[in-house]
Chains A and B, each alone.
Chain A
Amino acid sequence: MKMAQDFEQKIKTALQEECGSILVSNQMKQKIDEEIYQNQEEKRMKHFSMRRVVIGVAVACLFLTGAGYAVGKTEGFKSSLDFTKYRKYDSFEKIAEAEEKLGYEVDCVEQFSNGYTFVGAEKQGVDAMDENGKTTYTFEQLVIEYQKADEPEISLYIEKPIETFEDTKTPDAVRECEGITVEYDLYTYKCVPTDYELTEEDMANENRDDYFISVGSDEVEISMLSSVTWEKEGISYNLLGFDLTITPEEMLAMAEEIILAE
C-alpha cells in the first residue's frame, strides 16, 4: 500500500516538475484579445452585410422584390456576372432565345418613349443565401440593359420568384396599370471596402428600410438607387438604375410601357 502511494506521489511530483517552471508568455493575452476582437468584427460585418445587402459585382447589386425581408430563411443574394463584359443576347430579337431557356415569356420593350434603348441582355444564376452565407437555392434571372446617351444605365431584372418577401418599406410612389400595382422606391446604397468599420451613423442607418450597405468596393461610395417593381402572371419585374436623372413619374411610365408591351 505504502509502495503504491509512493508511486502515485512520484507521478504527481514528476508532472509538477515537468511543467512547473513554464509561464504564460506576456504576449498571450494580447493575442487572445486580438483574436476575440477580430472574430467579433467578422461576425458583425458578416451580419450586416448578409442582412441587408448584396455581395455582388457591377450593377447587379440587388434584386429583392419589394426590397423587403425574406419571409423564409433567405438573407441575401449573390450573383457574379459582370454585365459590362457579358451580353449574350446582344440584339432585341435574341430575347426570344432567352425566353426559351428560361421557360417562360417576358414583357419588355426595345425602346422607351423617353429615349432609353435596349443594348443587351444576359441570363444569370443567382444564389439565395441564408444568414451564414450558405447557398440555400439557386434561380435564374434575365437582366436587360437600357441606355440613353450619357445618362446612367437602367436595368430590367426579370425572374420567377421562388419565395415570398414581406414588404417592410412603404413605397415612395405607386401607380396602377392594367390592374397591376407598380411601386417606386428610392434607396441609398453605401458601398464600403472589406476592412471598413461601421460608424454610429451607419449602425443607425442599418435599421432603415431604404438604406443598404454593401461590402466590396475600394473606397466608400454612396449611390442612390431608383427602383420600380411589379409582378405580372407570376413573374417579377424590377426596373432599376443608380443615380438616375429621371423622375419617379418617368420611371413609373417606363414600367407602364413594359406592362403594355405586346
Chain B
Amino acid sequence: MKEEILVEQMKNGNKDAFDALYEKYKNIAIHTAYLITGNLADSEDVVQETFVKVYLHSTELKSNSGFKAWMMQILVRTAYRMGKKKSREFPDEETVNRMENGTEISSLEQVMQLEERRKLNAVIRELPIKQRTVVILFYYNECSVGEIAKLLGCMEGTVKSRLHTARKTMKKILEEEKENFV
C-alpha cells in the first residue's frame, strides 16, 4: 500500500498501518540510531522512543508525504540527545567480533582495506556528535545537505561546515595511519 495512505490511516488510529510503517523503517532506524549513539542498548531505546512518538504524535504531521523525514527528525534528535547525555562505549566488543568473524580475508589488500575501514569507523566514532551526526546522515542515510539542515534544525552552511571539518579530520588521521603503517 502507498505510504501516504498508511500514514493517513495511522493518523486515524489504525494500528495495522502503524505496524506496516514500523516494519518498513525499523532497520534504517536502528542502524542510524546505533551509528549516532554508539551502542546497541541506547539505539534500541532511541528506536522505541521514536516509534512511540511517531504513533502518539502522528496527527501533528502536516504532510503525509513527509513521513520519512519527520520520523527521521524525531529519531535523530532523540539519538542526538541520548548520544550527548551518555558516554560512548566504543570500541564495542560486539562490533569488533562481528567484523572479524563476518569477513572473509583472502589477501593482503583485503586485510588492509578491512583495517582501513575499521580505522575509519573508529575515527567517525570519535568525531564530536554534531559532526558525527552530519556524517552519518550524509553518507549512510544519503540525505542531502538541505535535508540534514531541516532534520537538525540548522542552516545549510552549518551542515557544510561540519561535513568539511569531519572530512578533514578523517583524512588527516587516515593519512597519518598510512604513514605509520608504511
Taking a contact as CB atoms closer than 8 A, the residue among B35, B52, B55, B135 that contacts A19 in the complex is B35
Q: Which residues of chain B come closer than 8 Å to A15, judged between CB atoms?
A: 35, 121, 124, 135-136, 139-140
Give the complex CA separation of A21 and B96 in angstroms: 12
Contact status B31-A32, CB under 8 Å: no
Most chain-B Cβ atoms within 10 A of its Cβ — which of A25, A32, A35?
A32
B116 contacts which chain A residues (CB < 8 A)?
10
Closest to B56 in A: A39
* A36 and B55 contacting across the interface, CB-CB below 8 Å: yes
B139 touches A11 (CB 8 A): yes
Question: Are the CB atoms of A36 and B56 closer together than 8 Å?
Answer: yes
**Within the complex, what minimum Cβ distance (angstroms) separates B125 from chain A?**
8
Across the interface, do B120 and A10 meet the contact criterion of CB distance under 8 Å?
Answer: yes
B121 to chain A, nearest CB (A): 5
A23 CB within 8 Å of chain B: yes
Which A-chain residue is minimally distant from B99 (CB atoms)? Answer: A17
A14–B120 CB distance below 8 A: yes
For chain A, the count of residues having a C-beta within 8 Å of the partner chain is 26
Asked whether any CB of chain A lies closer than 8 Å to the CB of B170, the reply is yes
Pick from B26, B29, B44, B95: contact of A18, CB under 8 Å: B95
Complex: A23 Cα to B31 Cα, angstroms:
8
Q: Does the CB pair B135–A11 fall under 8 Å?
A: yes
Which of B27, B48, B121 is in CB contact (< 8 Å) with A32?
Answer: B48
Residue in B44, B102, B139, B167 whose CB lies within 8 Å of A28: B44
Which of B30, B51, B120 is A11 in contact with, Cβ under 8 Å?
B120
B47 in the interface (beta carbon within 8 A): yes
Q: Does B152 contact A (CB under 8 A)?
A: no
A12 interface residue per 8 A CB criterion: yes
Interface centre among A23, A25, A28, A39 (most CB of B within 10 A): A28
Q: Does A162 contact B (CB under 8 A)?
A: no
Nearest 7 Cβ contacts at the A-B interface: A19-B31, A14-B120, A14-B117, A15-B140, A24-B26, A11-B139, A35-B52
**Chain A residues with a Cβ under 8 A of chain B:** 7-8, 10-25, 28-29, 31-32, 35-36, 39-40
5 residue pairs of the A-B complex, CB under 8 angstroms, read A7-B167, A17-B121, A18-B35, A24-B44, A24-B47
